């Protein structure tokens, strides 16, 4: 993988690390869409992967888009508006869609500031654990931009419309404690303990049967946009598949034999 996005697999868990610590891990460089797309394709194709941790190197999760490049018209921010639109579609939005399309649960280990696009990328994950040094902000309006990376859809579903509106309209940032109170993160831990805690949660997730784990994520995602009746129909179909799996039989045997199950993804 690229040095800008580190890929490490340990057991059933993949850790992706945004690796531009000297500039607080901005996103949107020319190679970022390909880096994320390739990493996600690798994850989704590996049936041995059951959880992903996404974090940033150094003291920041991600400062978001490259504001200096915006001012100078570099990294795709120059030229006519129609051209910028296409570069968003084929650039930054490919990063967003790649993270959204990871088939296994994703934990954002937010080690520091997650600002703008960085906040949106954290929100694309299934759950977020924050270091006590983390800061969150949807600060697009402060630089004269709209929330153009999915945040207008993501934030209200995570923290509610009123608080999402407050963050977006004011451009304020919030600390980790407030983020937990608002439901943006599930827990806050000392910075030194962040990755250990993220791996603890990832390992708890990774003991689940891999196929039903992926199907459960699909159900949760579909539940964000579809009707109750549609979810019930999809659940019936997926449950029928699960009942015929070898992992379901193994789970039942382990339950009655009072032992830990050994799943093979079958």
In the prediction, which pLDDT does 73 show? 75
Distance from C-alpha of 70 to C-alpha of 145, rounded to nearest angstrom? 11
**For the chain, what is the radius of gyration of the CA atoms?**
19
**Average pLDDT for 205-228:** 96
Q: How many Cβ atoms are within 10 Å of 240's Cβ, its own excluded?
A: 9
The per-residue pLDDT of the chain, averaged, comes to 95
Q: Please say whether the beta carbons of 141 and 115 come within 8 A.
A: no
Q: Token match 């159900």: residue?
A: 219
In the prediction, which pLDDT does 84 show? 85
Strand partners, 26: 64
Percent of the chain with pLDDT over 90: 88
3-state secondary structure of 192: helix
pLDDT, tens digit, 9 for 90 and up, residues 65-93: 878 878 877 767 778 888 889 988 999 99
CA 38 to chain centre: 16
63: pLDDT strictly greater than 70: yes
- Give the residue, 76 or 127, on which the prediction is more confident: 127
* Tokens, residue 216: 């459960």
**Average pLDDT for 32-46:** 97
- Give the residue, 217 or 70, on which the prediction is more confident: 217
**Average pLDDT for 188-217:** 97
HSE at residue 202, side-chain half, CA atoms within 13 A, is 27
177: pLDDT strictly greater than 80: yes
16: pLDDT strictly greater than 80: yes
In the prediction, which pLDDT does 213 show? 97
**Average pLDDT for 161-166:** 98
In Å, what is the CA distance from 72 to each residue of 39, 62, 66, 85, 199? 30, 20, 10, 17, 40
201: pLDDT strictly greater than 70: yes
261: pLDDT strictly greater than 70: yes
For 119, the enclosing helix (H) or strand (E) is helix 117-124
Q: Kindly report the pTM of this predicted structure.
A: 0.94
pLDDT, tens digit, 9 for 90 and up, residues 229-238: 999 999 999 9
In the prediction, which pLDDT does 75 show? 67
Q: Token match 């959204």: residue?
A: 100
**Average pLDDT for 85-107:** 95
1: pLDDT strictly greater than 70: no
- Give the residue, 45 or 84, on which the prediction is more confident: 45
**Average pLDDT for 133-159:** 96
Q: Helix axis angle, 81-90 relative to 92-100, nearest 10°?
A: 30
101: pLDDT strictly greater than 80: yes
């Amino acid at each position: 993988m690229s040095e800008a996005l580190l890929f490490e697999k340990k057991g059933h868990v993949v850790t992706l690390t945004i690796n531009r610590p000297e500039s607080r891990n901005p996103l949107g460089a020319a190679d970022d869409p390909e880096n994320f797309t390739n990493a996600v394709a690798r994850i989704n194709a590996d049936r041995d992967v059951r959880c992903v941790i996404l974090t940033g190197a150094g003291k920041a999760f991600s400062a978001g888009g490259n504001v200096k490049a915006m001012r100078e018209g570099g990294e795709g921010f120059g030229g006519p508006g129609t051209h910028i639109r296409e570069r968003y579609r084929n650039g930054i939005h490919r990063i967003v869609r790649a993270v959204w399309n990871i088939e296994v649960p994703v934990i954002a280990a937010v080690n520091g500031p997650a600002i703008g696009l960085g906040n949106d990328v954290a929100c694309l994950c299934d759950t977020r654990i924050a270091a006590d040094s983390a800061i969150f902000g949807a600060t697009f309006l402060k630089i004269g931009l709209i929330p153009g990376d999915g945040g207008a859809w993501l934030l209200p579903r995570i923290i509610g419309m009123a608080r999402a509106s407050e963050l977006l309209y004011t451009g304020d940032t919030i600390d980790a404690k407030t983020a937990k109170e608002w439901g943006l993160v599930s827990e806050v831990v000392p910075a030194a303990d962040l990755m250990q805690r993220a791996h603890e949660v990832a390992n708890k997730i990774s003991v689940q049967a891999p196929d039903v784990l992926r199907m459960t994520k699909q159900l949760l995602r579909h539940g964000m946009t579809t009707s109750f009746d549609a979810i019930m129909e999809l659940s019936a179909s997926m449950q029928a598949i699960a009942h015929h799996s070898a992992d379901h039989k193994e789970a039942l045997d382990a339950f009655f034999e009072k032992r830990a199950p050994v799943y093979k993804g079958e």
